[in-house]
Amino acid sequence: MPQPAGFVGVTANLGLKEGADDFAVVAAPSGPVTSAAVFTRSRFAGASVLLSRASDLAAFRGMVTISKNANVATGPTGEANALEVRRLAAEVVGVRPEELLVASTGVIGVQYPMEVLTPALEKLAGTGTDADFDAAAAAIMTTDTIAKIETRTVGSGEDAATITGIAKGVGMLEPDMATMLTYFFTDAAVPAAELDAVFRRVVDRTYNAVSIDTDTSTSDTAAIFASGTAGTVDLGEFEAALYDAALALVKKIASDGEGASKLITVSVSGARDDAQAKRVGKAIVNSPLVKTAVHGADPNWGRVAMAIGKLHEETDISPEHVRIAFGGTETYPVQVSANLLADLSTYLSGDEVSIEVDLGIASGAFTVYGCDLTDGYIRINADYTT
């Protein structure tokens, strides 16, 4: 696959993970780089988020990520440590500290072991080489079972630009302005204002449309960096390619949800507006009863009706106008036969399950993504720190 030009990087094991890289830095040290970023709105946002959010979001040249330690609820010491990690990482790739977005993911409430990190980072100073995006995707993982990376091109021939996106996140995942950690790198030249607008539109329809367990992370960060090496591109084509890459990453995230065995897609149409459609979709995909029914291949459409019905403030939703389907097969308001239930159970046994709802109100529509709820999720999170 082509790689976006202009980026250097380093991945390494600093001593937080056993047998795997826990550090990644990728940046474009030269050229007219532009960037955009969005972050969690958690009231318990970590030191890394607070530091990056207070920076000039259009002036980042790249990112540095520490995995296995979230640096959350660590007070002034954690804030000082985030600044020091950013300073040391900037020396690795030859940029100014304020040009690096810093992020961290992992256990909450534990200070960085700076006595370990500092000497390890000092040894890496000036070692940046052509960025290895596959290695970076692996280095930012925590409980992910697979590295998540997608690449798309914009344009053709020598004038083509490349977009590569990486992401991590499988739990504590109900986004609000961003989600987990995800970064896009492109060699397209996109002015900062246009890049910010495009990125926020894409995030809203992809990352803000995924939910694993309704819990918003304290460290959620999404960012894009444009080195400009490939020159200008058609912004419409750029947005379409970025959306396609982001959606593919979202589906990987949902499929890799902690303990998950199935990807759930909920498409809501006929809503008053897109916002209502999103609320309904989230109510369905976040319902433990819907999740467990899907896990057990039980075509219990009543669980979907329940999830819609609990939105008591949506007074324009009327049962007589609602349609519910699984994989395109209508289950409400039609009378479902025993044979049809058996066919639906077979459908629900697959790796991907689609639930469709039409509210019969107007033309609003939205699609959300999630996963089933399994005993594996309970075991992973019951034993997370022990």
Query: Which residue in the block uniquely carries the two structure tokens 């400009």?
Result: 228
Eight-state DSSP code of residue 91: H
Q: How many CB atoms lie within 10 A of CB 193?
A: 11
Closest CA relative to residue 25, chosen from 89, 105, 77, 82: 89
Is position 179 annotated as part of the catalytic site? yes
Among candidate residues 332, 299, 31, the one with its CA nearest the CA of residue 188: 31
Secondary structure class of 355 (helix, strand, coil): strand
Strand 129-130 versus strand 8-12 pairing type = antiparallel
DSSP state for residue 366 in the 8-state scheme: E
DSSP reduced 3-state for 179: coil
Amino acid symbol at 254: A
CA 199 to CA 257: how far, in whole Å? 24
Token couple for 145 = 């079972």
Q: What is the per-residue burial (b if ≥16 Cβ within 10 Å, else e) of 92-112?
A: bbebebebbbbbbbbebebeb
| Cα–Cα distance measured from residue 355 to residue 328, given in angstroms and rounded to the nearest whole number | 8
Cα 358 to Cα 337: distance, rounded to the nearest angstrom: 21
How long, in residues, is the chain?
A: 386
Which position among 179, 221, 229, 331 bears the catalytic label? 179
Q: What is the DSSP letter of 321?
A: G
- Judged by DSSP in three states, 169 sits in coil
Report the C-alpha dihedral over residues 57, 60, 64, 69, rounded to 10 degrees.
Answer: -10
Peptide bond into 191 cis (omega under 30): no
Active site residues: 179
